[in-house]
């Protein structure tokens, strides 16, 4: 007999894995079935080839979630940076069956804004990807010199980041019907661009400014887990 009352699907940022969110997921209420998505080419799927396109990455994430979806209980989705765009596309296409309760958006502007920004840039070289990752606060200089680290972490990150530039926003959408919580860092994603998510979602919205850089989850996972628990436990029965 299933003792869970709600499912939470977690979609990581570019280069991220299940391990990237372990400190957060360990703190989620035990009545919630937490399902971090593992993209190919890392973590427990390290032996699988990396996806060749953003479409492949999205399709894989959708398949991963569908296989684990329990239709008899409601669900929520948490996306971080690139994972937020994948989560949005999954939800706007109504890929998962059952009742959607909540969408957690972390470190990402609205997709219509992101698509415009990406269109203005050329596909980046590996060097540019690494430089931007450093600027976002996601890379340790010492680890960059470690070949094993480079093989395990940098290859997936570079691959994901380049796929990010393939994103195109379609404006013939139907609004996602659920409540939404937004985690953002003003230095990374301006509140003005985050608030544009309200054009795409029909529900109640709450905003939480977090930390000093793109990867605020690393320092503030406890605070984020507390907020997530507060939102999701309000939907639980019993």
Check residue 29 and give left, alpha or beta (phi > 0: left; psi -120 to 50: alpha): beta
CA distances to 11, 44, 100, 172 from 194, in Å:
18, 32, 21, 20
Q: What pLDDT score does 138 carry?
A: 66
- Give the CATH number, domain containing residue 148: 3.40.50.1820
Judge whether 1 lies within some domain: no
- Confidence at 148, pLDDT banded by 50, 70, 90: confident
Q: What is the dihedral of CA 16, 17, 21, 26, to 10 degrees?
A: 180
Judge whether 114 lies within some domain: yes
Judge whether 65 lies within some domain: yes
Judge whether 167 lies within some domain: yes
Judge whether 42 lies within some domain: yes
Asked if the model's pLDDT at residue 1 lies above 50, the reply is: no
Q: What pLDDT score does 172 carry?
A: 83
Q: How many independent structural domains does the chain possess?
A: 1
Parent domain of 35 = 6-233
- Confidence at 237, pLDDT banded by 50, 70, 90: low
Mean local confidence (pLDDT), 116-138: 75
pTM exceeds 0.75 for this model? yes
Asked if the model's pLDDT at residue 198 lies above 60, the reply is: yes
Collect all residues with Cβ–Cβ distance below 8 Å to 17 and sequence separation of at least 6: 38, 39, 42, 43, 156
pLDDT digits (tens, 9 = 90+) for 165-191: 889 999 888 999 999 999 999 999 999
227 touches 233 (CB < 8 A): no
Judge whether 90 lies within some domain: yes
Angle at 27 between CA 34 and CA 16, to 5 degrees: 60
Beta bridge partners of 34: 8
Q: What pLDDT score does 149 carry?
A: 75
In angstroms, the CA 55 to CA 23 distance is: 29
Asked if the model's pLDDT at residue 141 lies above 80, the reply is: no
24 touches 225 (CB < 8 A): yes
Helix axes 54-68, 82-92, angle to 10 degrees: 70
In angstroms, the CA 84 to CA 134 distance is: 21
- Count CB atoms within 10 A of the CB of residue 211: 21
Judge whether 135 lies within some domain: yes
Asked if the model's pLDDT at residue 151 lies above 90, the reply is: no
Distance between start and end Cα atoms, the chain: 15
Beta bridge partners of 201: 176
- Confidence at 150, pLDDT banded by 50, 70, 90: confident
């Amino acid at each position: 007999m299933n003792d869970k009352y709600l499912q939470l699907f977690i979609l990581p940022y570019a280069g991220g894995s299940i391990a990237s969110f372990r400190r957060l997921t360990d703190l989620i209420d035990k009545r919630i079935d937490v399902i971090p998505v593992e993209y190919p080419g890392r973590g427990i799927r390290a032996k699988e080839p990396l996806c060749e396109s953003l479409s492949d990455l999205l399709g894989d994430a959708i398949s991963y979630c569908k296989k684990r979806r329990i239709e008899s209980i409601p669900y929520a989705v948490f996306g971080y940076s690139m994972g937020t765009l994948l989560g949005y596309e999954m939800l706007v296409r109504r890929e998962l069956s059952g009742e959607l309760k909540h969408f957690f958006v972390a470190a990402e502007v609205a997709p219509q804004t992101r698509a415009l920004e990406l269109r203005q840039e050329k596909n980046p070289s590996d060097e540019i990807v690494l430089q931007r990752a450093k600027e976002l606060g996601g890379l340790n200089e010492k680890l960059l010199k470690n070949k094993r680290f480079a093989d395990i972490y940098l290859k997936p990150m570079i691959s994901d980041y380049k796929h990010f530039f393939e994103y195109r926003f379609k404006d013939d959408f139907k609004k996602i019907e659920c409540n939404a919580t937004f985690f953002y860092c003003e230095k990374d994603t301006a509140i003005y661009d985050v608030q544009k998510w309200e054009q795409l979602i029909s529900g109640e919205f709450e905003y939480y400014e977090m930390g000093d850089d793109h990867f605020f989850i690393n320092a503030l996972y406890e605070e984020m887990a507390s907020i997530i628990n507060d939102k999701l436990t309000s939907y639980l029965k019993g």
